[in-house]
Amino acid sequence: MPQNLSDLIKVLPQYLIPKHWLSKGMHAFMRIRVRWIKLATMKTMIRLYRIDLSEAEETVLDNYPHFNALFTRALKPEARPVDSTPDGWCSPVDGVVSQSARIQGDTLIQAKCHDYRLPALLGGDIEYAKQFKNGDYAVIYLAPHDYHRIHMPKAGRLVSMTYVPGDLFSVNPATVRQIEGLFARNERVICRFETPDGPFCMIWVGAIFVGSMETVWQGKVTPPYGTMIQHWDYSDRSLNFEKGEELGRFNMGSTVILLSPEGQCPDLGQQTPQRRVNMGEALTQASSPTETMPRPSVDASDEGETDHSPKITL
């Protein structure tokens, strides 16, 4: 069967199913505490997705309160050494580099015959989009078996966060090839950072069954799923993060997009397509020793979620 037809067959049902309701249902299911249900689910998913528990800080399944705690598990510090290249970028997540290129004006390539525009990706903020004109970008896809915490790719300060409501199409390769402007259509969280080298942006793209996205500074962002763009200004707070520090987490699989201005990090747009990366691995061409950088101490023993501020209702 031709790939295009195969992709179309996989994608068409997504237009018909209630994606937000299914994601809410997944959010609840992932937090079931009935012992036999959670253990059966965990064992099935470990076998199905070949999840490597030897890297986890907690290797005893019964010690996880629910399946979500396993899915967002913390890893042993030595499992993900962080690249120590001065001023270099490291991968913020485990995943596969699905796209990497120079931004053509304000246009990013999604897949063959499909592209999208920076202003649309950034929630309509035309002025902010101008900072990344002719810059570089990389898109990293997280599969369900991947480590699902998100870390800082380089040292810097968070200046603001924007939640953009949207659809919840899958972000798997077949859907990326079929749905034009997918990353600018799906729900997403836009994190703006400043560094001594200039600004950079990280976009967390939601997807079907991604039951929640949360940050270490604001707690749970979704659900509930909003209907309006929401913006948080942190210019009066010292939200400084070191390279490799934890920023937040996804449920299930999803996608992270990194944007850098023109000339700041050309290597970001020169990643090998379909390259497998681990969190902390260098995204620059220069090789260097690695070291384990400090990460925030986050306790996932209760809900498997962080909440360092009051919950927000979007």
Q: What is the pLDDT along the chain (314 residues), one digit of tens a residue?
A: 556 777 777 778 777 777 778 878 877 888 899 999 999 999 998 898 888 889 999 999 999 999 889 989 999 989 999 998 888 999 999 999 999 999 999 999 886 567 899 999 999 999 999 999 999 999 999 988 899 999 999 999 999 999 999 888 888 888 888 888 889 999 999 999 999 999 999 999 988 877 578 899 998 887 666 678 999 999 999 999 999 999 999 876 689 999 999 999 999 999 988 999 999 999 975 433 344 444 444 443 334 444 333 332 22
CA atoms of 29 and 310, how far apart (whole Å):
24
CA atoms of 150 and 82, how far apart (whole Å):
13
Instruction: Name the amino acid, one letter, at 142.
Output: L
CA atoms of 291 and 89, how far apart (whole Å):
14
Please identify which of the residues 125, 151, 170, 212 carries the catalytic annotation: 151
Residue 254 annotated to the active site: yes
CA atoms of 177 and 89, how far apart (whole Å):
27
Q: Which residues pair with 291 in a beta bridge?
A: 82
Residue 66 annotated to the active site: no
Task: For residue 212, count CB atoms less than 10 angstroms from its CB and return exposed for 0-12, middle for 13-18, buried for 19 or more.
Answer: buried
Neighbours of 80 (CB within 10 A): 23
Tokens representing residue 34 in the block: 């009935």
Please identify which of the residues 94, 125, 136, 146 carries the catalytic annotation: 94
Residue 94 annotated to the active site: yes
Task: For residue 47, count CB atoms less than 10 angstroms from its CB and return exposed for 0-12, middle for 13-18, buried for 19 or more.
Answer: exposed
- Residue 257 main-chain phi, psi, to 5 deg: -115, 130
Please identify which of the residues 91, 100, 254, 260 carries the catalytic annotation: 254
Instruction: Name the amino acid, one letter, at 160.
Output: S
What does the pLDDT read at residue 262? 95
Q: Which residues pair with 141 in a beta bridge?
A: 96, 255
For the chain, the maximum distance between any two Cα atoms, rounded to a whole number of angstroms, is 56
Provide the CA 272 distance to its chain's centre, in angstroms. Answer: 19
What does the pLDDT read at residue 258? 97
